[in-house]
Structure 1
Amino acid sequence: MSKSTHEGSFRSALAYSFITKYLNIGLQLISTIVLVRLITPEEYGLYTIAFIFMVTASIIKEFGVNNYLIKEEKLTQEIIQSAYGTLLIISFISGSALFFSASLIADFYQQPELINILQLLSLNIFLAPFGSIIDCLLKRELNFKPALITGTSSQFISVLAMIYMAYCDFGVYTLVYGSLIQAVVQALLLQFYRPANMPLMPKLSQSRKILSYSKFVGVYGIVGHFGTYIVELLSGKFFTLELTGQFNRASSTASLFNKLFTEALNPVISPYASKLKRSGEGLMQRMRVIIILTLSCAWPFYAVLGLCAEPVVLILFGEKWMTSSYFLQIFCTARILSSSVQTLEPILMGLGMAKALMKIVLIINVLRIFISILLLQYGLMVMIICTSLTLPLLRMSLFIFVLHRKNLVDWHTYLSWLKPPAVLLIASAAPLCLTKLYLGQNWWQSYIYLIAAIIFSAILWLMLLSKQEDSAIVIKEVKSKLFNKAKK
């Protein structure tokens, strides 16, 4: 496949992925603004605990099988059938484990309601193989249009159902049934996009070969997941469900940029990196532009969100969620540090370096779990500050070490890529910081000054972004394409 064909496929996939993500975020934002006013923080905290265990079972269910299909250079029908069969068996085991362990988890948290919630959510695990292999095969070829249609449609139906159930006072089951409805609808819709090489019947002949690679991805996912949610798990047990709900709301808000940008970009980068590797074309030269542009948007976003945490929480969620604004400020600082290497994860995964990724995730998350348990006696805020602000620096160092060791890019070069985003970060934060210093602690209550500072930050960001060499090239290309379309 030619370079121009690769670039065309990448751009098309990227466009569909971003459209899908933005439509889903819009729907999610609408539902969240409604639901947080009808569902209590305690109910969100209860669902958070159940959701963590459900996602754990989901990661075990997949166990890196889909990633194996994406990175495999020669994908035969036998391998696809074996992947399908492997996924069916692991899903059955994982879903059954979640279903039958529900009572143990409920006893641990002393929340009997968790039994019904977890058993209902386990149905998601049983359903997953019937759509995930289809979705994976389509994305391997950078065909993201079906994901746009099925993902948005299932999300829309789920949001409508949840808003109705919340008004009917379903409580925490609003979120449970909403998750189930989305999973069922998406699995059904994906059947209309079955590729020609999607088998009807599973096999297990190549399962050992698949699991020999995917075990690294599976362990990477499981350890990473528990490390990410260890504070919520401990908070649900040793603090209160309300505090767990507040913490989770702050974490979800801090991940807004990931939902707006990274989660749309990363699913495209991994198969794109794999395709470039199969064709023998250079990768890091192309990735440099993506990394710089991503951070040039991410760092200013987190800076502004962290500085405006209180008004953001008040406007989006209401006064009963204001406690989450303190957590949000910490998370935004942590995201600035962790996002510096976030784009590298799908690149290394697409290049088949799951073992190296697993080691990094294992080191970081074992430390996160250890530090969280060690600091439990000092309170939730101390745990969050220590884990959120120290471990991202170690994670960044480990990623850059792997890049250097694999001869992808050296330390000095990668750190030089971070200079343009750092300039934008300082420029974007400066107007808000100066306004805060001038007006004092409750500065954001002067809405005229707040809006003026945000507008000034946005203008500074746009001016400096347009002067970046990499940004200028992308902007020029976009303008050229729009102009050519307009002429036609």
Structure 2
Amino acid sequence: MNLKSSLLWTGSLRIVTRGLTIIKTLILARILTPAQFGIFGIASLVLGFLETMTETGVNVILIQEKGDIKNYINTGWVVSIVRGFLISSLIIFMSPFIITFFNSLESLYSLRLISLIPIIRGFINPAVVSYQKNLKFNSEFKFRGSLILFEVVTTILFGLIMRSEIAFVLGMITSSFLEVVLSFAIISPRPRLEFNFKKLKILLSLGKWITFAKIFDYLFSHGDDIVVGKLLGVYPLGIYQQAYKISTLPITEISETFQKVTFPLYSKMVAENASIKKIYLKTLLTTSLIIIPFGIVLYLFPKEIVILILGNQWLSAAPVLQVLASFGVVKTIANSSFPLLLANKRQDLVMALTLIGIIGLGTTIYPLVNIYGLVGAGISTIIGSLVMIPPAFYWVRKLTND
């Protein structure tokens, strides 16, 4: 499958996914309150943090692997299962401390329920990465599209019936069950409960930089949520998270579509010792020409967009939406180097770039939030992304010099 066809299928999946997500938000934002969104936001923050802290990098390594992925499937699956039970146990154990940290007793039930998700996800067939590895993005479109449709429909139904933030968690649980079933029903090879210590050492050795990079990326992407939830509470957290999603949704989805396609493409080009510079620059230019107009629209019409998508009760999201529109553009440019660095197996540089972003975010967010509230959090995210751009372009230049 060529680059144009790959972009078409991946872009279509992103459009379908985010289109359905917008429909879900349109409906549930008029049923649930910002505080209820914030309660779920705390539970999802904890799940995301622990999933990131225990990330093994198996999927990325399987894509990078030049040979048959069968050699690592069984061990990777066992690791995934053990990881799922570990994450679940940690959520249960940490729940009392989490609700104290965020001063949100009402988050306890959501935390306990969401602890089921990593156990279920642990049983997903690791061979699902074969679609991306082999550039079969048409098959991935059908697989992922079915899952997101199922999750959106079930979440909306639970929301209409229960009028509770628990609807989000139940939608994730049912979708995770379906993914496990489909991953074994339609994808091969199918793993077995076999464990090879030597292969585990290889996976962990190759994946260590990915693990660190994922941790840093999570802290960079959600450090602002943690600070907002801690300093301002669940209601402002719900407002901020929805503004963040709206502002970055069209921009980051476009950029991530390009990144998802170019990573396996760059990996193949590196293996064949082909020149990457031209296609990288072309991809960066094309992405920039698409995302900048989206950023301008979000900046000029924040109130209208908030009312259209979320409704009048969310109008306090408009000022931060305006700030975060600029963040989406800057972040896309900063992250454009990631697929190229990963293709060259320079996970250490991805980690270093993300660490630079965290330093920029971490040194500014507390004073800015204390002074400007939610808008201050948005400004801090822009600073974090801006400081990543110079070193990112420097390393890209070094790696693409033929």
What's the TM-score bracket when you normalise by the shorter of the two chains? Answer: over 0.9
Range 347-356 or range 259-268, more displaced: 259-268
d(CA) in 2 for partners of 1:51 and 1:367?
24
Structure 1: which 4+ aligned runs deviate by more than 6 Å?
Answer: none
d(CA) in 1 for partners of 2:253 and 2:217?
21
2:58 to 60, 65, 77: 65
d(CA) in 2 for partners of 1:326 and 1:66?
38
- Alignment of 1:37 with 2:30, yes or no, is yes
In structure 2, the partner of 1:124 is 117
- Report 1:271-350 matches (<5 A): 271-350=264-343
Using structure 2 for the length normalisation, give the TM-score.
0.93
User: 2:251·2:328 contact (CA, 8 Å) conserved in 1?
Assistant: no
Output the amino acid matched with 1:343.
Answer: S
d(CA) in 1 for partners of 2:398 and 2:240?
37
- Report 1:245-260 matches (<5 A): 245-258=238-251, 260=253
Range 199-208 or range 223-232, more displaced: 199-208
Q: Which runs of 5+ in 2 are unaligned?
A: none
- Alignment of 1:201 with 2:197, yes or no, is no
In structure 2, the partner of 1:162 is 155
Output the amino acid matched with 1:194.
Answer: I
Output the amino acid matched with 1:18.
Answer: G
CA drift of 1:54 comes to 0.9
Output the amino acid matched with 1:118.
Answer: L
CA drift of 1:89 comes to 2.5
2:6 to 13, 16, 22: 13
CA drift of 1:37 comes to 0.2
Output one character per residue of 1:43-70: Cα deviation in whole Å (capped at 9) or x when no partner. 1111111111111222234331111111
Output the amino acid matched with 1:284.
Answer: K
d(CA) in 1 for partners of 2:343 and 2:122?
21
Output the amino acid matched with 1:42.
Answer: A
Output the amino acid matched with 1:65.
Answer: V
The one of the two structures with greater contact order (alpha-carbon pairs below 8 A, sep at least 6) is: 2
CA drift of 1:187 comes to 2.3
Q: 1:62 to 1:134 in 2, by over 3 A?
A: farther
CA drift of 1:94 comes to 2.4
CA drift of 1:376 comes to 4.7
In structure 2, the partner of 1:266 is 259
d(CA) in 2 for partners of 1:274 and 1:69?
12
| Secondary structure of the corresponding residue to residue 40 of structure 2 | helix
User: 2:251·2:294 contact (CA, 8 Å) conserved in 1?
Assistant: no
d(CA) in 2 for partners of 1:386 and 1:301?
19
Output the amino acid matched with 1:342.
Answer: N
Output the amino acid matched with 1:341.
Answer: A
The structure number with the bigger radius of gyration is 1
CA drift of 1:86 comes to 2.6
| Secondary structure of the corresponding residue to residue 164 of structure 2 | coil
Aligned length: 401
User: 2:357·2:388 contact (CA, 8 Å) conserved in 1?
Assistant: yes
- Report 1:382-393 matches (<5 A): 383-393=376-386
User: 2:228·2:377 contact (CA, 8 Å) conserved in 1?
Assistant: no
Q: Which runs of 5+ in 1 are unaligned?
A: 1-7, 410-488
CA drift of 1:407 comes to 4.3
Q: 1:145 to 1:389 in 2, by over 3 A?
A: closer
d(CA) in 2 for partners of 1:382 and 1:177?
32
Using structure 1 for the length normalisation, give the TM-score.
0.77
CA drift of 1:71 comes to 1.2
CA drift of 1:127 comes to 2.1
User: 2:276·2:400 contact (CA, 8 Å) conserved in 1?
Assistant: no
d(CA) in 1 for partners of 2:159 and 2:375?
34
d(CA) in 2 for partners of 1:386 and 1:24?
28
CA drift of 1:375 comes to 4.2
Q: 1:95 to 1:267 in 2, by over 3 A?
A: farther
Q: 1:352 to 1:329 in 2, by over 3 A?
A: same
CA drift of 1:252 comes to 0.3
d(CA) in 2 for partners of 1:61 and 1:192?
27
| Secondary structure of the corresponding residue to residue 26 of structure 1 | helix
Output one character per residue of 1:354-380: Cα deviation in whole Å (capped at 9) or x when no partner. 111101111221342232235454242
Q: 1:141 to 1:343 in 2, by over 3 A?
A: same
CA drift of 1:224 comes to 1.4
CA drift of 1:385 comes to 4.9
